[in-house]
Amino acid sequence: MTSNSLKDSDLYYIDLKSNDPLDLYTEWHSEAKKFSKGFTNIICLSTVSRDCCPRSRHVFLQSYDENGFVFYTDSRGRKVQEIAANNHGSACVYWIFTNDKCEHIMKQVRIEGTIEYLPRNEVEKVYNAQPLYAKIRAHLCHQDTVVNWDELKKHHDVLLEQAKIDDSFLQMPEHYIGCRLIPTWMDFYASKNKSIADRMEFDKNEDGINWIHRRLAA
Ligand SMILES: Cc1cc2nc3c(=O)[nH]c(=O)nc-3n(C[C@H](O)[C@H](O)[C@H](O)COP(=O)(O)O)c2cc1C
């Protein structure tokens, strides 16, 4: 075997520095923010319909901490109807970038758990800090309903003109809600260049506080 062919395959190693998956998420997210050219805070969120059909869509991950992964949405939309019927959810995030060592890195994090709604005062703080277009959207769009584009545009322009004079009518509507995916399982997958991926799976312990981890085959 030549030394060149040795480089044609390798096994990636996830270097775990703590038993807490949040630490690994933060480390990977920071690295992605540093090197990735795209958004790094978008998750693909999956819920399950009443008749057990899975449904996925991307949402912005507003924040995360030891309590869970937070996103905002319209309570009248389909995903919230699904969450109300079955509060189990799963999310997936994918980061791809070239780091400062010219290594092509691919990382995936999968998160599974239950989804709960955030208290209104917490949601209001985030809503109030939103840019104008996001507040207008919250008032203009009834998520998942059929629309006539011309009428929607006309309505949009009226709201925009009103907001330029006085935007106090754009206070947070009832249907603007925040949700938190509280993880009970997380799975990290990473590879670079011609390496075979490494994986690390975390399960929440029965005590509901600590995590158990295992290395898994890719
Ligand atoms: C990059 C991206 C970010 C999005 N962020 C959100 C979000 O934060 N909240 C949201 O309700 N919809 C967001 N959407 C729209 C959703 O993907 C989806 O179309 C919408 O929420 C309706 O989904 P539902 O019918 O399953 O309820 C985003 C779409 C994209 C492409």
* Tens digit of each residue's pLDDT (9 = 90 or more) over 56-88: 999 999 999 999 999 999 999 999 999 999 999
Atom of ligand 1 nearest to the CA of 60: 8
Confidence bin at 193 (pLDDT 50/70/90) = very high
Residue 125 CA to ligand 1 centre (angstroms): 20
Q: Is the pLDDT of residue 1 over 60?
A: no
pLDDT for res 5 = 62
Tokens of 99: 């780091």
List the residue whose alpha carbon is closest to atom 7 of ligand 1. Answer: 59
**Whole-structure pTM value:** 0.95
The one-letter code for the residue type at 16 is L
pLDDT for res 4 = 55
Mutate to test the pocket of ligand 1, among 50, 53, 63, 73 (most ligand atoms within 8 A of CB): 73
Homologous superfamily in CATH for domain 3-127+175-216: Electron Transport, Fmn-binding Protein; Chain A (2.30.110.10)
Q: Where are the domains of the chain?
A: 3-127+175-216
* Tens digit of each residue's pLDDT (9 = 90 or more) over 129-163: 999 999 999 999 999 999 999 999 999 999 999 99
List C-alpha distances in Å: 68 to 43, 50, 169: 13, 24, 32
Alpha-carbon distance 90 to 92, whole Å? 7
Cβ of 77 below 6 Å from ligand 1: yes
pLDDT for res 7 = 76
Confidence bin at 174 (pLDDT 50/70/90) = very high
Cβ of 68 below 6 Å from ligand 1: no
Confidence bin at 6 (pLDDT 50/70/90) = low
Q: Which residue has 């290594």 as its token pair?
A: 103
